[in-house]
Chain A
Amino acid sequence: MDAATLHPVHHEAHETGVMRWLTTTNHKDIGTLYLWFSLAMFLFAGSLAMLIRAELFQPGLQFLQPAVFNQLTAMHGLLMIFGAIMPAFVGFANWQVPLMIGAPDMAFPRLNNWSFWLLPAAACLLLASFFVPGGAMAAGWTLYPPLFIQGGIAYDMTILAIHILGISSILGAINIITTILNLRAPGMTLMKMPLFVWTWLITAFLLVAVMPILASVVTMLLTDRHFGTHFFDAAGGGDPVMFQHIFWFFGHPEVYIMILPAFGIVSTIIPTFARKPLFGYVSMVYAVASIAILSFMVWAHHMFTTGMPAAGQLFFMYSTMLIAVPTGVKVFNWVATLWRGSISFETPMLFALAVVFLFTIGGFSGLVLAMVPVDIQLQDTYYVVAHFHYVLFSGAAMSIMAAIYYWLPKWTGHMYDERLGKLHFWLTTIAFNITFFPMHFLGLAGMPRRIPDYALQFAGFNMMASIGAFVLGASQLIFLYTVVKCIRGGAPAGDKPWDGATTLEWTLPSPAPYHSFATPPVLDEEPVHDHT
């Protein structure tokens, strides 16, 4: 089918200027909004990290008081998770899911707009909370009571921001599930869907399942703070540890919400640049599904030091170790996809390969942490900080970068600057490792996390980590510049700049027309994942 049939004359013209973005019901516009919002939050929360690393450059309190330091660590985590990583993945879902399944748009376009515009509302509350008396929330992104109960106005603002973020995520997830279940082009059976769509289907399910749990537990925090309930107060028969159980029942699936779409991205990019179909498509789908199911059974591994009975510790240790099996299957499948391919190293591929390599390091440290006795030593240390940055930065954030470079040509019609992309890649990867690898050593040697000042034996690696962090932060400005440059111009991308790509979006012109697949595309007989 040619470009003209894919670009129907549309009946409703969209509004212009700022009203276009405020009122849009177009999945591409909304995807773009999500991605810009995410980038803004990424840079802001990243600059909080720069302040944290500046304070930790040397022992002693240099220029941040502990109260401010604690606000920075808490808000860095909260904003990166809910402001940067999750919205970025939803942005990709918005742009790509309809294109990849041949749908005209998302199932509920107006609701889609609301899901996005709730985010700035929540961000207003969170950013404003820095300026209220007492400063921002400083109890860590995990919000543990009773510390959380002691806080000031900012803590209430955080609770309500989380409620709004939760509404946004739930509505967004319902939209994505419905789109995938109901709007696939004829002939695209579930087992023919691109893996990115599969990972998002399961991610969206996790979101609908656990965001309400988070909403319920922060509601309990609110009533404990202001309305006299005793959910987390022992004197009234409550238990601070109960918060942790409910929170992590949300929190562990949340971890996979932030990594499953990354798996989908890597599973899309590697076959493209290996010019070879994804190895083990079916086992990939089963692996993602089993990871999602297991994610509901491992939550208490975040709480081994709270002192649960041996039976509890053992159950959660075994179930956590079990997750290594499907995760291993995914990594093996990626390596087997590369094997005897015809591999080239454009920027998206470099990022995707780095994700495989570095995420696996994060997976291994996760396995180390799953062992209860070892976790007893490492819980709440910099080892954990290293672990989740290997998973969330070199897993989630770097896969987001990979996806941006991969799909920018389709979205803008221009090729990005490959030289700048590669520069961004190498600086990011090297600086990331200099920043976070030493943190494993710091944690093993006994440095707790969330402290503004530390003992002298930790000075060497902290200085190294801080230097790495400054380079890592500065490198992201190259990213911003490269993206903006690509949007403003560049070599024409053509419909299909990547010769190995097989998914439906590459049958559309670049930039993708404002409305696409108004009539569903016709699929080949063979499964999408099965091109040879």
Chain B
Amino acid sequence: MTTPDAYYLPPPSRWPLVGSLALLLLAAGFVMMLAKLNAGPYVMAAGGAMLIAMIAGWFGTVIRENQAGKLAGQMDVSFRWGMIWFIFSEVMFFAGFFGALFYARNLAVPGLAEAQLIWPGYAGGWPTAGPGLKENFTPMAAWGIPAVNTLILLSSGATVTWAHWGLKKNRRWQTVFGLVLTLALGAIFLALQAHEYLEAAFSIRTGIYGATFFMLTGFHGLHVTLGAIILTVILGRVLAGHFRTDDHFGFEAASWYWHFVDVVWLLLFVFVYWL
């Protein structure tokens, strides 16, 4: 009955179940850790291992299906929609934290400065650790490492696009070199971020400034790491010859994700570091 063009329906799979159990274990272990139970980290480790196995197994299956030519045509369009909406959901996740930053700067802190009855002498302004902590700290300056990091990440967006051109024009060395360059720039970015974290004159406990700074840049850093892992897999697939000039959505999805991470950084640079 099935023609080559028919929409591919995968057979039953155990990976989703493994994924659910993995997340349950991760969550349960995390709660146990917060409750200071000794078993917590072990349960979490078990959940984490399961999750990695699930991701490897599941994506492995998808790659094999793709290599078998099952995911072309209409399925390819589905993957595109799926990736677009997934990235949109990630954008909204960051929007929540950016919302917190804007709210705190424009409404919460001025509100506290007005509440002289409770916080006599508190002047507000940004950055601040709040009226109750009375902490003096040096905020992160924008025009040092962060500006360099902006250049690095923007360049990495360019190199990944250059790699994509290579793929489209069937210049393999360009694709490989572009990806390696992108990964290297990503690694330098992360290293500089780590350096900045270690040198920071404040911590996540430094009031609302520390909280928004570390949560926003921290989650961004996690996403860069994730993007880099994805690009590494893609590099492996390029080397394995998985992509054709006209059929390489895996590559495109990874580069879309990388660009998304890029744009988030730009916003971070402007609103967290600069303004």
Interface residues of A (CB under 8 A from B): 8-12, 14-15, 19-20, 22-25, 103-105, 107-111, 113-114, 117-118, 120-121, 124-125, 153, 156-157, 160-161, 163-164, 167, 170, 173-175, 177-178, 181-183, 208-213, 215-217, 219-220, 223, 226-231, 233-239, 241-242, 245-246, 249, 515, 518-519
Q: List 17 A-B contacts (CB under 8 A).
A: A25-B13, A107-B82, A110-B13, A125-B27, A174-B81, A174-B85, A183-B78, A208-B92, A211-B89, A212-B89, A212-B96, A216-B94, A229-B214, A230-B211, A235-B130, A237-B128, A246-B99
CB distance B209 to A107 under 8 Å? Answer: no
Mask: chain B, 128-144; 1 = CB below 8 Å from A; 0 = not: 11111100000000000
CB distance A174 to B90 under 8 Å? Answer: no
CB distance A238 to B6 under 8 Å? Answer: no
CB distance A153 to B89 under 8 Å? Answer: no
> Does residue B34 face the partner (Cβ distance < 8 Å to A)?
yes
CB distance A237 to B92 under 8 Å? Answer: no
Known contacts A208-B85, A239-B108; is-contact A231 B100 (Cβ 8 Å): yes
> Does residue B273 face the partner (Cβ distance < 8 Å to A)?
no
Chain B contacts for A170, CB-based, 8 A: 86, 89
Task: Give bound CA distance, A20 to B78, whole Å.
Answer: 25
Q: Which residue from chain A places its CB closest to the CB of B19 in the assembled complex?
A: A114
Task: Give bound CA distance, A14 to B10, whole Å.
Answer: 11
CB distance B13 to A118 under 8 Å? Answer: no
> Does residue B1 face the partner (Cβ distance < 8 Å to A)?
yes
Besides A164-B24, A236-B132, 19 other A-B contacts (C-beta < 8 A):
A10-B1, A14-B12, A23-B14, A114-B16, A117-B16, A121-B23, A121-B24, A153-B34, A157-B31, A174-B89, A216-B94, A229-B204, A229-B210, A233-B132, A234-B118, A236-B130, A236-B211, A239-B111, A519-B6
CB distance A245 to B21 under 8 Å? Answer: no
Q: Which residue from chain B places its CB closest to the CB of A224 in the assembled complex?
A: B211
Chain B contacts for A103, CB-based, 8 A: 7
CB distance B12 to A114 under 8 Å? Answer: no
Chain A contacts for B180, CB-based, 8 A: none
Q: Which residue from chain B places its CB closest to the CB of A226 in the assembled complex?
A: B34
> Does residue B170 face the partner (Cβ distance < 8 Å to A)?
no
Q: Which residue from chain A places its CB closest to the CB of B62 in the assembled complex?
A: A110
Task: Give bound CA distance, A132 to B89, whole Å.
Answer: 33
Partner of A25 from the list B12, B94, B208, B209 (CB cut-off 8 Å) is B12
CB distance B21 to A183 under 8 Å? Answer: no
Task: Give bound CA distance, A215 to B94, whole Å.
Answer: 10
Partner of B9 from the list A9, A105, A238 (CB cut-off 8 Å) is A105
Q: Which residue from chain B places its CB closest to the CB of A168 in the assembled complex?
A: B20
Partner of A208 from the list B14, B77, B88, B107 (CB cut-off 8 Å) is B88
Partner of A235 from the list B6, B35, B133 (CB cut-off 8 Å) is B133
CB distance B9 to A104 under 8 Å? Answer: yes
CB distance B30 to A236 under 8 Å? Answer: no
A157, A223, A231: most-surrounded residue (chain B CB, <10 A): A231
Chain B contacts for A174, CB-based, 8 A: 81-82, 85-86, 89
Chain B contacts for A181, CB-based, 8 A: 81
> Does residue B45 face the partner (Cβ distance < 8 Å to A)?
no
CB distance A239 to B11 under 8 Å? Answer: no
Chain B contacts for A23, CB-based, 8 A: 12-14, 16-17
Q: How far is the CB of B91 from chain A (nearest CB, A)?
A: 8
Q: How far is the CB of B135 from chain A (nearest CB, A)?
A: 9
CB distance A238 to B211 under 8 Å? Answer: yes
> Does residue B58 face the partner (Cβ distance < 8 Å to A)?
yes
> Does residue B274 face the partner (Cβ distance < 8 Å to A)?
no
CB distance A12 to B85 under 8 Å? Answer: no
Q: Which residue from chain A places its CB closest to the CB of B3 in the assembled complex?
A: A519
Chain B contacts for A231, CB-based, 8 A: 100, 104, 208, 211-212
Chain B contacts for A215, CB-based, 8 A: 93, 96
Interface of B is mostly: helix
> Does residue B66 face the partner (Cβ distance < 8 Å to A)?
no
Task: Give bound CA distance, A164 to B22, whole Å.
Answer: 11
> Does residue B256 face the partner (Cβ distance < 8 Å to A)?
no
CB distance A237 to B14 under 8 Å? Answer: no
Task: Give bound CA distance, A107 to B84, whole Å.
Answer: 14
Task: Give bound CA distance, A330 to B10, whole Å.
Answer: 39
Interface of A is mostly: helix
Known contacts A110-B58, A177-B85; is-contact A161 B27 (Cβ 8 Å): yes
Q: Which residue from chain A places its CB closest to the CB of B78 in the assembled complex?
A: A107
Q: Which residue from chain A places its CB closest to the CB of B27 in the assembled complex?
A: A160
Interface residues on B, range: 35 or more
CB distance B16 to A230 under 8 Å? Answer: no
Interface residues of B (CB under 8 A from A): 1-2, 6-7, 9-17, 19-21, 23-24, 27-28, 30-31, 34-35, 58, 74, 77-78, 81-82, 85-86, 88-97, 99-100, 103-104, 107-109, 111-112, 118, 128-133, 203-205, 207-212, 214-215
Q: How far is the CB of B188 from chain A (nearest CB, A)?
A: 28
Task: Give bound CA distance, A170 to B86, whole Å.
Answer: 8
Q: How far is the CB of A255 from chain B (nearest CB, A)?
A: 17
Q: How far is the CB of A304 from chain B (nearest CB, A)?
A: 16
Task: Give bound CA distance, A245 to B100, whole Å.
Answer: 9
Chain A contacts for B133, CB-based, 8 A: 230, 235-237
CB distance A20 to B12 under 8 Å? Answer: yes
Chain A contacts for B118, CB-based, 8 A: 234
Q: Which residue from chain A places its CB closest to the CB of B113 in the assembled complex?
A: A237
Known contacts A9-B1, A23-B12, A153-B35; is-contact A237 B77 (Cβ 8 Å): no
Chain B contacts for A125, CB-based, 8 A: 24, 27-28, 31
Q: How far is the CB of B68 from chain A (nearest CB, A)?
A: 13
Known contacts A14-B12, A163-B27, A231-B208; is-contact A237 B89 (Cβ 8 Å): no
Chain A contacts for B108, CB-based, 8 A: 237-239, 241-242
Partner of B132 from the list A20, A209, A235 (CB cut-off 8 Å) is A235
Chain A contacts for B58, CB-based, 8 A: 110
Task: Give bound CA distance, A444 to B124, whole Å.
Answer: 40
CB distance A11 to B2 under 8 Å? Answer: yes
Chain A contacts for B215, CB-based, 8 A: 219-220, 223, 229
Chain A contacts for B19, CB-based, 8 A: 114, 117-118
CB distance A156 to B81 under 8 Å? Answer: no
Partner of B131 from the list A9, A108, A208, A235 (CB cut-off 8 Å) is A235
CB distance A236 to B207 under 8 Å? Answer: yes
CB distance B92 to A209 under 8 Å? Answer: yes
CB distance A178 to B96 under 8 Å? Answer: no
Chain B contacts for A10, CB-based, 8 A: 1
Chain B contacts for A234, CB-based, 8 A: 112, 118, 130-132
Known contacts A164-B27, A215-B93; is-contact A24 B12 (Cβ 8 Å): yes
Chain B contacts for A519, CB-based, 8 A: 1, 6
CB distance B2 to A113 under 8 Å? Answer: no
CB distance A228 to B205 under 8 Å? Answer: yes
Q: How far is the CB of A152 from chain B (nearest CB, A)?
A: 8
CB distance B82 to A230 under 8 Å? Answer: no
Chain B contacts for A124, CB-based, 8 A: 24
Chain B contacts for A213, CB-based, 8 A: 92-93, 95-96, 99
Chain B contacts for A518, CB-based, 8 A: 1-2, 6
CB distance B104 to A246 under 8 Å? Answer: no
Known contacts A23-B13, A25-B9, A237-B104; is-contact A229 B81 (Cβ 8 Å): no
Chain B contacts for A235, CB-based, 8 A: 130-133
9 tightest A-B CB contacts, nearest first: A235-B132, A216-B96, A237-B130, A114-B16, A237-B208, A239-B108, A229-B211, A23-B12, A212-B93
